[in-house]
C-alpha cells in the first residue's frame, strides 16, 4: 500500500482519510469527477465521514456535496448532522442555491 499523507499536494500518496484503501490523491480526484456513480458516491461518503472539512474542498465543491447529501446520509455516520447543518446553513444564508 502507498504511504499515507496529510499533505494533499502529494498526488502519488494516499490521503490520510483513506487509511483503509490504496487510492492515491490523484486517483481520488479523478474518481470523484469522472468515475462511475457508485464509486464516486462511495469515495465521497468516505471522505465526508473521515476527512477534515477544510480538506474536503480540495476535492469537491459545496454544490457537489449538497447534491449528493440526500443519497449519502447513511454513509456519513456521526458526521451526517455536521454536513446537513453546514449545507442547510449555507442555503439559509443565500450562499448556496436550493
For the stretch 23-56, pLDDT in tens is: 999 999 999 999 999 999 999 999 999 999 999 9
Name the residue range of residue 29's domain.
4-92
Tell me the pTM.
0.92
Asked if residue 56 is part of any domain, the answer here is yes
Q: What's the structural domain count of the chain?
A: 1
Q: Are 24 and 16 in contact (CB under 8 A)?
A: no
Flag whether 68 is in a domain: yes
Q: Is residue 86 part of a domain?
A: yes
Determine, yes or no, domain membership for 21: yes
Does 69 map to a domain?
A: yes
Residue keyed to cell 448532522: 81
The string of pLDDT tens digits covering residues 70-86 is: 999 888 999 999 999 99
Rounded-to-integer distance, Cα 18 and Cα 28, Å? 10
Backbone angles phi, psi at 44, to 5 degrees: -65, -45
Is 98 among the domain residues? no
Specify if 64 maps to a domain: yes
97 found inside a domain: no
Amino acid at each position: 500500500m502507498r504511504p499515507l499523507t496529510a499533505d494533499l499536494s502529494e498526488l502519488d500518496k494516499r490521503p490520510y482519510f483513506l487509511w483503509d484503501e490504496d487510492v492515491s490523491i490523484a486517483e481520488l480526484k479523478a474518481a470523484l469527477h469522472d468515475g462511475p456513480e457508485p464509486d464516486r458516491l462511495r469515495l465521497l461518503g468516505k471522505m465526508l465521514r473521515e476527512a477534515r472539512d477544510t480538506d474536503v474542498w480540495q476535492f469537491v465543491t459545496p454544490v457537489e456535496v449538497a447534491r449528493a447529501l440526500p443519497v449519502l446520509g447513511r454513509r456519513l455516520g456521526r458526521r451526517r448532522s455536521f454536513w446537513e447543518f453546514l449545507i442547510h446553513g449555507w442555503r439559509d444564508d443565500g450562499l448556496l442555491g436550493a
